Structure formats: C-alpha cells, structure tokens
Structure 1
C-alpha cells in the first residue's frame, strides 16, 4: 500500500507540473525561466577495426579512402592517421571542424613528380558537425590543397588542412540522429535537441547522459530551460544505475523534470527501461529507484504522433469539416465566407482566421461561436498556434511577427509585436510562418527560402525570434508553402515542376524529394496528420496516405476541388 500511495504522490506532482489552463481562445502567459550556458562535450572513443591504406594504391584512390576513414572518429581518428606521414599525423588536428560536403571532387595540379603530388579538393559544403554532434546547415563552396608524398614506395598524405572532411552519405552511413530533450520555457513540454552520434560509440546510453548534463545545443539554448546547477555531472553507469552528482540544490520539481529528460532520451534511443537514476548516491526521486516511461507519460515528446486529428478544408473562403467523404460547412464566422487562411485547435475549441481579401484582418473565436477581430494590416500570414493553443502568431506586412493572447485580468485579446533577428543575407517578405508543436521553433519562408529559428523571452511578455538559419538551401527561390510534421521535420511545397514537394529535416541535415507522382507544381498549400500528407497543387487537393507512398489521390468528398487542407488537433 505504501508503494501505491507513493506512486499516487508522483502522479499528482506530474499533473501539477504539466497542467495548463485554457481560456476561451487563448491561455494565460507561461512563466519565464532563463536558460543557462553550459560547457560542450566530445563523444568518447570506441575501439573499432577499420581497414588501413591499400598497398600500392594510387594517390587519388588513397585520398578518397582517407576521406571515408574520417567517418570513424575512434582513438583520435586513428583510422585516418594511417594515411598520413608521421609528421603530418603529429601536426594534423581533426577536432577543429568536421565539414560535410555533398560530394568531394579531386583534381591533380600541374607540376606533379614521381614522389610528390598536389591535389585540390572541391565541393559544396552543406553543413558542419560540431561538438556534441550538433549539425549546422550551410551552403558554401569549399576548396583546399593536399600534398601527397611517397614514403617507402607508398603514397601518403604529407600536408593537409586541419579538420575532417566527410561526404554527406558517409556521415549518414556512420552516424545516427538521436534526440536529447529539454523543457520549453514554460516548463510544460519537452523539446527535442537532435544530435548525430557515431554508430561505433561504446555505450550509447552513457554518451547521451553525458551530453544531457552539458545542456542544450547553442542553437536551441535560448528557447529551453536547463535547471541543472553548473557543477552537475554524469559519472557513469554503475551496477545498472545512471549516476549523477552535483544535484543537491535541485528542487523536487526540477528533479522530476530531469527524470523526464533522462527517461525519454533513453527510451527514444531504444534503450529499454525501467531506469535506475541516482543523484549524489540516492534515487533522483525519493522512494523511486526505478522509473519507466509510464511514470512520465504526461511529458511524452511524441504524444502528438498518436493524437486524433480532424480534417477541415478551406474552399472559396468557407471552412468545412471533412469526415468519411462528407464535407460539412461550419457555422459561425468560419462558414460566413471571405476567409483567406486559418488555423484550428479542436482540443481548445479555438480558431484563428485571416479574412477580408484586400483589407485583411485577423479574427479569433470559437469554432462555431463568438469571435473578435484582433488586428488589421496590408498582409497577414496564415495563423499558427503555440503549444496547447496558448497563443496565436501571425506576421503582418511581411516583416513583423505578432503574438496574440488573452489577458488574464481583462479577458480581452491583446497583441504584442515580437522582435526578430534575421541572419545576414536574409531578405524578402515573410510569406509563411509556422510554429512547431512545442512552440519553441518557428519555420518560415522568405523569398522562396526556408528558415528555422528559436523563440525566446527577453523579458516578461516579450518574445524574440533568434538563431535563424536556412535549412534547405537547395530549394532556394522555390519554396511556397510549409508545415511541421509530427516527427519534427518540415513538409515544403515548391514551384519545382519535377519535384514539387519535399521533406526537410529541422537541422537541415537532409532535404529529400517526396514522390511527385501526379502532383503538378506549384504546391501552394501543405498539411500533415500522423498518417497522411495533404497538398494543394495546380489542380486540386490531394493526399498521400502513409500506406501508399507513390500515388497522390484526391480527397473523398473533394473530388476535382482545389482547396486547402487544415489539420486540427
């Protein structure tokens, strides 16, 4: 009975931490918590057998094999050093940077001799892999010269730039993406922080725990909470228990938050539980030496994947509900006509719509009840919700993000402009602006380019969009529409005739075309549920079920109809 009572206490604590109060339209402001900056971490070595240089290999073949060996970081890149002369091995510093190239091209320079060759390597640098396995998307040209020399009648690399150069396929063959988790600034929901971990690492679980205590990546840091004190550390796995130290000052609530981070990082890396988590020699949560995903289920970062969604459609300014092939226009302001775009939350019974044509205004209300006009502007982007419909965001006049909430004191809808720190070179009006499920990240389209940023809080009731990076340079100038998918990737519709729809990873590590089938560019609207992708092309609204990844089909009840899908939760 004592165990049951203790479990009930844990459940009540979790409920208290995860509860949110939804108001009519929007909720109160989440609390403010400032993140901390913590140190970086380098993945531990792991012994692995990698073939060395092939005897008698020509310089170009040996050089390509050297680049392939760069995918094996074990023992301070011992596999790569086998391709170097002794002096080059002493001087080469591989840890400076890991450059990811789409493809490596080699060109031998004039003036080569029987004992020395100079080879220039070139390629498009699509990203870097930084400390802690953080991928940073880039789009630049890379060029470097490498000197090769004969040593005991075998070619070896005698002079090369510091750092590692990898083709993207090599990175994806030898590294896997794993998620760490940190709470958003409200402390309500876990936000994924993707890290690329070498497949040959000795112990994935201890690597993840070491990374977790060092804190979030620099990119995500402004948008999440890290409550660990500066001296906190992971000291290893001992007799099946994950051992941490420096936790003595943590509150009960902070311990539970960290427990949720640990459990979900391990569980989603396919490391089975239950988990024993110890802090300073005692269970992290008193009386609970073992924790499972059931104990922290309320914080499941993949909860939306299994959520039931409702399909709506926008056609000729009217929003209708679509169910089993039946299309039913809504009553209230959503069914009155004149709507240009909308976002709907069925769980919160709230909708936000842009209507008015030449004089756009943002209207907020219940699905089929009362509503209020909030703001007007020359242009207003499609509305988007924060987590649990706590607030609504739009961009007005192409450059000003606006956040709309309901005042806790007056109950009136209030708006506040958010600051935005655009990266150097970013230009053009913001035509699409969509928050991630957690409300921590935002994806946007400017001048046909796709960007992802992080939302932070400089002060009470203030918001700032920062750390904005372009994540799909290969789509530059063609992107027209986007939405977040349940797995955290982006779905992007474009004007590209042969490949009009794409999947883009949130960190920019991959951009891959989805089956085009019978889609006809331009794809001006996209939406996604857990099981289905929707796209509005030149002719109609089409959908692609997860069970059929080749043929786009028209939506039952909307045959031959060109409309936009709205997926609501």
Structure 2
C-alpha cells in the first residue's frame, strides 16, 4: 500500500472510531456567504488610478500600461485613460501579454491627434485563471490618442492587455493550487498568479481550485470536483462548500488534502474545518491538517530526508556526517561509472564505459545489476518517483523508459517527445520532477520543460514542450528539479553560473556568484540545499526560496573538500 493510501486508511479508521482530529479554535472568522465556483476577474473597488492632468501623450500611454496590470473592477483604472467610445469597445479579457519592457515611438500626429508604435519582447502570457505560459516572440501595435476637453486620451487600441514583467511581479503574487496526479497518490502544484489587490486571497485560491487545473496540466491530473460544487465562505469557523454530495469518502479525503495544501500555499497552515452541504466533509472528522496529508506532497516528503551521494573518479560514494564513504562491495560497477542516479530503497541505475560505447545497468545495492541497453552514449539516468521506472536518452535522440516486471525481467519502451517546431538538437539532460508529471531537458544548451502524459496502456509521452529561460539559451549545461517545483540550472556563463528558474518559466534568479566559477557542469537539489560542481570542486549553498537572506559564498561539501565530483540526491 502506498503512503497516501495508508494515510487515507488512517483517516477512514478515525472516522469509524468517531475520532476527533484537532480543534476548531484557530480557524478563520466567519464571512458572509458567497457562492464561488469559477475564478472571475476581481470585482473589488478599483484603486484610485486616474490619468495625471495635462500629461503628454507618450507619458499617458506609459501610465495606461501600468494601470493595465490592475484588473480590479473590470480594469476601471485603465479604462479611465480611454475616450468614451474606446472605453466601451475595449475588451481587456481576450489576453494578457507579458513583455520584458514596453517601447513607445511616435509615428505621426499633430494638433488634436497622435499615433504611436508600441513594441516589446513577449516573455509569456497570463491566461484566465492566472496560469503563466512562457512565449518567445515579438509584440507590435499601433495606438492612437486624441484630445478630449484639452486632455489626451487613447482612442484606438487592440483588444487584450499588455503589461511589463516588472508590473506583473509588483501587482500579482504566485501561489500553488494542488491536484492529484492522474492515477497516483501525490499532488501536483499548479502555479497561478493572483492579483495582490484581491479582498480575499482565500476566496481567490479556493475558486481557482474549484475551477480546475490549468490547460497544460489538464490531461495529467485528476479533477474529481463536480461542476455543481461551490464555495460559500467561512461559516461557523469552517470552510463551507455545497454540491459535493456525489463525492465518495475517498474523493472527499482527497479534496480535503487538495484544499489543505492549497491554503498552505497562502500561509494558512493551521488545521482547518471543512463542511459539505452543512455537514462535516468526512463524517466524524472535525479538522484536517498538513500532517494528515504529508505523504501526498512530494515537496514536504522530500524535505524530510536528504540522501546525498557523489560520483568521483568513476565510483560512487555515500556522503554522510562530513565523510564520503565508497560503496565498494555494494555494486560491481565501481571504477567504471560514467553517470548514475539513485532511487528509493537502494535502487540504482548506472552508465558505464567511455563515450562511443556505453552500457546502461539497473540494480540494487548488494544485489547486483542487469544490463538493459547499449548505445554510443547515454544521458545520466533519471528515476521516476517511487522507483517505478528509469528514463534515459540514448545517442541524444531516443528517450527510453525501463521498467521491471514482477518476474524480474526489464522491459523498455520508447517515449515520444513533442518538441517545438524547429527544435531538433541532441538532448544532453533529462530529469523528471518529484511528482513525475513534468520533465526538464537541455537541448543544445537551451532549457525546455514538458508534461509527461500517460495513456491507458501506461505508455508515456512528453507533450506541451516549452522553452524556458531564453536569456540562458546556448549556455545551459546542467539542470535538475528542486522540491518546490522550480529548476536549478548550471551554465557556462561566468555572470550567472547557477540560476533558479521558476516552475512556470515566469522568471529566473541568479544564485550568488561568490566563489563559484563557470562552467557549472552538474547540479542537484536536496532538503534546503543546492549543490553545484564548478570548474574546481563540488559546492553547496542553502536554498533561500523562502525569502530568507541568502549566503554570498558557496562552501565545499563536507567530506568532499578538494574533490571535483558529481552530486546525486537520492529520491
């Protein structure tokens, strides 16, 4: 039985015994009933956004784009920059394009009218529901202004909104809503950007949860919430829902898990009470907490344990308590290993031999291994979560998944990859996310991510492949997933040798350069720690994604001082 399955049994046992889990003392205050199903544009009062009197036309246009990042009251602030006719015609809901910066140049004009050319490099699009999709293309439009009662106003503009990335970061905040991976026991984070000016952040993320997964994840997660389900606010200290009568007890427990972790993403970490149509969501259970569903969240379970290994001089070592102990005697491949990955419970996959004639072997410590494939070269193997399978790229092109049957025999299946048009280079890195739903690849020094779909027969396919971090294009050497869903990247760029890339591709953040030297040829992420192999040694730095002050210098990994090796975090 899986970990989450065991948790569900425990909750069911608590129900049968009439157990009371926690108390309601620390729950939110009551709110007025408000039926929410879908995520709509914020309807709270618009902030005081108005054109500055006597603004020059180009400045008024810039202020309009800044106001377009505030969706309150159906973009009432941005509409105040338009003529009455344009105000009635403009539909801001068609799209929200995010550009790096907006360039405004005069085309023609004089007297009472003025035309401007607006340009920018598109970095992504903010979809309805707050999902960010990275895009790499240009933006260009013509906008016209005219004087109204002596003041410049916009008289002609294209539909949709255009905002600078800095305005998106200033006006919106990213949060995760969670859905269960299809047919699995783990929840998958679905990152959304919510306007920071919303009156109720709780209502915003709950309505996002009820509205369903983002387009990119729709085919790889379960969505069990019935269409008639609605959130009616906090009543008698409990998050109240209607329309959940069709859910089974197991589905109700899963919904509670999704809600608990979604609320946790906005800082609500206390036990929560949940009602369905006036009764407890699960009979006999008063509150649910993160501890009840800790095993469902790979981010939480990953943080609980960090097994660090390293590959040095073609041999594997276990790093523990400041010492690196060779695994001699535990695997026969010592002294000939080119790359490796280590899964749960002592499972390992290694590539042996020199480039041009390599062998992939899969085995268990102290139990031996089996040769499963040969090729001119392989990427570093990648374990799925829970050791279900091993992935590798043979000769830069062929993605293969290996699984072990109950008989002990290994079977292989090719994994199709739907690369964007024009991308046909060799894949040098392939890593699977902690949930197994996402894959990150490095193709000719450029970073890509895709979604791992699975058909009814179990066949995998990597779809919805998008380029991430175009500013790093051509310089990426190594990449791996961090527990929170972001990606740590090693590059050949001396100005940004290690970079954090957000889960949705919405931005990059360079880790402090300090004493690390490009090229960074290997990276790994453990429990609160980032590891990187630079030109001299394997280094570590605490991960500061939680907003804590970041160290300025990297440190050598205790036990590996003076050793240039490849870090491996077992999962």
Q: Same fold (TM over 0.5)?
A: yes
Q: CA deviation at 1:13?
A: 6.2
Q: Could you say what secondary structure the match of 2:143 adopts?
A: strand
Question: Is the alpha carbon distance of 1:527 and 1:13 closer, same or farther for their aligned partners in structure 2, counting shifts above 3 Å?
Answer: farther
Give the counterpart of 1:525 among 522, 527, 538.
522
Distance 2:8 2:303 in 1: 25
Aligned residue runs from structure 1 range 7-22, under 5 A: 10-11=10-11
1:341 aligns with 2:339: yes
Cα offsets for 1:357-376 (capped at 9, x unmatched): 23212111113432111111
1:60 aligns with 2:62: no
Contact 2:134 2:466 (C-alpha < 8 Å) held by counterparts: yes
Distance 1:556 1:291 in 2: 40
1:497 aligns with 2:485: no
Give the counterpart of 1:474 among 457, 471, 496.
471
Question: Is the alpha carbon distance of 1:197 and 1:534 closer, same or farther for their aligned partners in structure 2, counting shifts above 3 Å?
Answer: same
Which residue is 1:534 aligned to?
531
Q: CA deviation at 1:68?
A: 0.9
Question: Is the alpha carbon distance of 1:230 and 1:13 closer, same or farther for their aligned partners in structure 2, counting shifts above 3 Å?
Answer: farther
Distance 1:520 1:13 in 2: 55
In the alignment of these two chains, the number of paired residues is: 537
Question: Is the alpha carbon distance of 1:12 and 1:348 closer, same or farther for their aligned partners in structure 2, counting shifts above 3 Å?
Answer: farther
Which residue is 1:137 aligned to?
134
Distance 1:562 1:437 in 2: 26
Contact 1:311 1:565 (C-alpha < 8 Å) held by counterparts: yes
Which residue is 1:416 aligned to?
413
Distance 1:414 1:557 in 2: 38
Q: CA deviation at 1:301?
A: 4.5
Which residue is 2:455 aligned to?
458
Which residue is 1:549 aligned to?
551
Uncovered stretches (5+) of structure 1, i.e. residues with no partner: 1-6, 16-38
Distance 1:13 1:221 in 2: 32
Distance 1:553 1:229 in 2: 51
Q: CA deviation at 1:86?
A: 0.5
Q: Could you say what secondary structure the match of 1:382 adopts?
A: coil
Question: Is the alpha carbon distance of 1:328 and 1:545 closer, same or farther for their aligned partners in structure 2, counting shifts above 3 Å?
Answer: same
Distance 2:245 2:529 in 1: 47
Uncovered stretches (5+) of structure 2, i.e. residues with no partner: 1-6, 16-36, 544-548
Cα offsets for 1:480-522 (capped at 9, x unmatched): 1101112211011112122222111121100122212232222
Distance 1:496 1:454 in 2: 28
Aligned residue runs from structure 1 range 300-449, under 5 A: 300-331=297-328, 332-333=330-331, 336-345=334-343, 347-357=344-354, 358-408=356-406, 410-449=407-446
Distance 1:324 1:532 in 2: 15
Contact 1:427 1:447 (C-alpha < 8 Å) held by counterparts: no
Cα offsets for 1:442-491 (capped at 9, x unmatched): 11111211111111112222111111111211111111110111221101
Question: Is the alpha carbon distance of 1:370 and 1:254 closer, same or farther for their aligned partners in structure 2, counting shifts above 3 Å?
Answer: same
Question: Is the alpha carbon distance of 1:307 and 1:14 closer, same or farther for their aligned partners in structure 2, counting shifts above 3 Å?
Answer: farther
Which residue is 2:118 aligned to?
121
Distance 2:138 2:14 in 1: 50
Distance 2:401 2:550 in 1: 38
Give the counterpart of 1:561 among 560, 563, 566.
563
Q: Could you say what secondary structure the match of 2:110 adopts?
A: coil
Cα offsets for 1:158-206 (capped at 9, x unmatched): 1111111111011001111111101112331111000000011121112
TM-score, normalising length: structure 1: 0.90
Q: Could you say what secondary structure the match of 2:490 adopts?
A: strand
Give the counterpart of 2:96 among 92, 95, 98.
98
Question: Is the alpha carbon distance of 1:333 and 1:10 closer, same or farther for their aligned partners in structure 2, counting shifts above 3 Å?
Answer: closer
Question: Is the alpha carbon distance of 1:295 and 1:372 closer, same or farther for their aligned partners in structure 2, counting shifts above 3 Å?
Answer: same
Cα offsets for 1:272-292 (capped at 9, x unmatched): 543232223332212224323
Question: Is the alpha carbon distance of 1:13 and 1:226 closer, same or farther for their aligned partners in structure 2, counting shifts above 3 Å?
Answer: farther
Contact 1:320 1:335 (C-alpha < 8 Å) held by counterparts: no
Q: Could you say what secondary structure the match of 1:112 adopts?
A: strand
Distance 2:231 2:359 in 1: 52
Give the counterpart of 1:181 among 161, 166, 178.
178
The runs of at least 4 consecutive aligned structure 1 residues that moved more than 4 Å come to: 7-10, 12-15
Which residue is 1:3 aligned to?
none
Q: CA deviation at 1:407?
A: 0.8
Contact 2:38 2:210 (C-alpha < 8 Å) held by counterparts: no
Question: Is the alpha carbon distance of 1:102 and 1:266 closer, same or farther for their aligned partners in structure 2, counting shifts above 3 Å?
Answer: same
